């Protein structure tokens, strides 16, 4: 396997809960399909060390070459920049895994990392805020089933002109689709064409224009997720017009203030950059962690960076914040009519 760096050698010696093993093996062998001839860059932090140790064992099981990087040993947190040692190692890797608990204002460093991924067309697992709970839930999903459902969604949304969605909490939105923007499937099976989050399970695009009201009774993303958790008792209501946030409100005024500040970061931070349908039917409930919760069956949207390198959107933002709702009814409008694909949070298009 060749020489590995010091942090990888130490990671091999760490003990970890054995219940992490199925999820770790699925990440390495099923989702990333790492081969023994390849090299992997594994990035982790103090909080995720036990999970990283389980991933390290899975890499050892494959027999590939790999290096590991503990962020706190390389730079002060929150990260201002992705450490150069990480980026340099990625330049010679086929696969990278980012299993890190993120801190406030670290998006720039993650974008530096994914810029390398995109340029080199690496297979990359983005396991932001991965937890023991997710390793034992979302990472144990049947990804063959998730991939089949995701493809059924893709077959439909790529023909649709508009998507309408409502929820019992009060969401009522329409998304007019731009035929020049691509849809992406990130079903947990990661390819060189598009890096993906793990757990996986979504189809997304940059919308042409979103209008209406989105009630966030699930979770809100980035660092706000860890601060506020599940929002069922104090949802965040977002009013959207012309693809921009025009107002928001919540009984939790601290959440409202933090969200307002976040979407005011730059000129496109309040612009809908992502419109997505979660397809991980192995996830049964939201848990207060955006990494898994955005894959929950239904719709989530994100304000800010549209991942234009993949969707084709020509604009950019330095922020990206997802918001998740619950119990959706979803209709797709085609030139010849419409089709309902979800009712009360359950897909109507599975076998």
Task: Looking at the structure, tell me whether residues 126 and 145 fall in a common domain.
Answer: no
**pLDDT of the residue at 56:** 98
| End-of-domain residue from the set 110, 136, 162 | 136
Task: Looking at the structure, tell me whether residues 220 and 303 fall in a common domain.
Answer: yes
**pLDDT of the residue at 170:** 98
The 10s digit of each residue's pLDDT in 284-296 is 899 999 989 999 9
Task: Looking at the structure, tell me whether residues 247 and 146 fall in a common domain.
Answer: yes
Rounded Cα distance between 322 and 300, Å, is: 7
Q: Look at residue 299 and tell me if it is in a domain.
A: yes
Reported residue count of the chain is 351
Task: Looking at the structure, tell me whether residues 107 and 165 fall in a common domain.
Answer: no
Domain of residue 31, CATH code: 3.40.1830.10
Q: Percent of the chain having pLDDT more than 90?
A: 91
Structural domain of 192:
141-347
Q: What is the average per-residue pLDDT within 52-62?
A: 98
Task: Looking at the structure, tell me whether residues 238 and 119 fall in a common domain.
Answer: no
Task: Looking at the structure, tell me whether residues 155 and 302 fall in a common domain.
Answer: yes
Nearest of 277, 217, 271, 263 to residue 241 by alpha carbon: 271
Task: Looking at the structure, tell me whether residues 153 and 128 fall in a common domain.
Answer: no
Contact residues for 171 (Cβ-Cβ < 8 A; gap 6+): 165, 212, 213, 214, 215, 325, 328
Task: Looking at the structure, tell me whether residues 105 and 246 fall in a common domain.
Answer: no
Cβ-in-10-Å burial (0-12, 13-18, 19+) of 50 comes to middle
Cβ pair 291, 266 in contact under 8 A:
no
| Number of domains the chain contains | 2
Q: Look at residue 332 and tell me if it is in a domain.
A: yes
Q: Look at residue 253 and tell me if it is in a domain.
A: yes
| End-of-domain residue from the set 101, 121, 136 | 136
DSSP state of 170: S
The 10s digit of each residue's pLDDT in 109-148 is 999 999 999 999 999 999 999 999 999 999 999 998 999 9
User: What does the radius of gyration of the chain's CA atoms come to, in whole angstroms?
Assistant: 19
**pLDDT of the residue at 102:** 87
Q: What is the average per-residue pLDDT within 215-225?
A: 95
Q: Look at residue 155 and tell me if it is in a domain.
A: yes
Task: Give the pLDDT band (50/70/90) at residue 2.
Answer: low
The 10s digit of each residue's pLDDT in 72-111 is 999 999 999 999 999 999 999 999 999 999 888 898 999 9
Rounded Cα distance between 223 and 59, Å, is: 29
Show the beta-strand stretches assigned E in 217-326. Answer: 219-220, 236-241, 244-250, 272-278, 298-304, 320-324
Q: Look at residue 305 and tell me if it is in a domain.
A: yes
pLDDT, the chain, mean:
96
Rounded Cα distance between 264 and 256, Å, is: 12
Query: From the CB of residue 310, how many other CB atoms can be counted at a distance below 10 Å?
Result: 19
The 10s digit of each residue's pLDDT in 296-342 is 999 999 999 999 988 999 999 999 999 999 999 999 999 999 999 99
**pLDDT of the residue at 291:** 86
DSSP state of 31: I
The 10s digit of each residue's pLDDT in 268-278 is 999 999 999 99
Q: What is the average per-residue pLDDT within 157-165?
A: 98
Cβ pair 301, 328 in contact under 8 A:
no
Task: Looking at the structure, tell me whether residues 243 and 168 fall in a common domain.
Answer: yes
Q: What is the average per-residue pLDDT within 21-34?
A: 96
**pLDDT of the residue at 107:** 87
Would the pLDDT of 15 be above 70?
A: yes
Q: Look at residue 1 and tell me if it is in a domain.
A: no
Task: Looking at the structure, tell me whether residues 111 and 228 fall in a common domain.
Answer: no
Would the pLDDT of 4 be above 90?
A: no
Task: Looking at the structure, tell me whether residues 191 and 248 fall in a common domain.
Answer: yes
Q: What is the average per-residue pLDDT within 220-247?
A: 96
Would the pLDDT of 351 be above 90?
A: no
Rounded Cα distance between 182 and 299, Å, is: 17
| End-of-domain residue from the set 136, 156, 172 | 136
Whole-model pTM: value is 0.83
Q: Look at residue 164 and tell me if it is in a domain.
A: yes
Task: Looking at the structure, tell me whether residues 98 and 244 fall in a common domain.
Answer: no
């Amino acid at each position: 396997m060749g020489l590995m760096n010091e942090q990888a050698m130490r990671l091999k010696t760490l003990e970890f809960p054995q219940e992490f093993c199925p999820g770790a093996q699925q990440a390495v062998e099923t989702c990333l399909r790492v081969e023994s001839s390849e090299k992997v860059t594994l990035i982790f932090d103090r909080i995720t060390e036990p999970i990283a140790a389980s991933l390290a064992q899975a890499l050892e099981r494959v027999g590939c070459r790999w290096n590991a990087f503990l962020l706190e040993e390389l730079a002060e947190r929150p990260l201002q920049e992705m450490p150069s040692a990480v980026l340099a190692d990625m330049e010679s890797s086929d696969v990278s895994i980012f299993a890190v608990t993120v801190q406030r204002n670290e998006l720039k460093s993650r974008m530096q990392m994914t810029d390398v991924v995109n340029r080199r067309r690496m297979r990359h697992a983005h396991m932001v805020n991965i937890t023991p709970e997710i390793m034992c839930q979302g990472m144990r999903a049947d990804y063959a089933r998730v991939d089949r459902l995701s493809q059924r969604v893709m077959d439909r949304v790529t023909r649709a002109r508009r998507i309408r969605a409502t929820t019992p909490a009060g969401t009522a939105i329409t998304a007019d689709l731009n035929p020049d923007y691509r849809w992406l499937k990130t079903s947990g099976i990661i390819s060189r064409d598009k890096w993906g989050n793990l757990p996986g399970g979504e189809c997304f695009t940059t919308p042409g224009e979103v209008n209406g009201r989105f009630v966030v009774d699930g979770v809100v993303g980035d660092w706000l997720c860890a601060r506020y958790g599940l929002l069922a008792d104090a949802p965040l209501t977002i009013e959207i017009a012309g693809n921009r946030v025009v107002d928001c409100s919540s009984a939790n005024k601290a959440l409202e203030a933090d969200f307002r500040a976040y979407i005011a970061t730059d000129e496109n931070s309040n612009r809908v950059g992502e419109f997505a349908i979660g397809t991980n039917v192995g996830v049964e409930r939201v848990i207060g962690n955006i990494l898994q919760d955005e894959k929950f069956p239904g719709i989530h949207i994100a304000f800010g960076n549209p991942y234009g390198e993949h969707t084709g959107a020509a604009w950019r933002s330095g922020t990206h914040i997802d918001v998740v709702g619950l119990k959706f009814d979803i209709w797709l409008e085609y030139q010849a009519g419409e089709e309902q694909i979800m009712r009360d949070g359950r897909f109507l298009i599975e076998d």
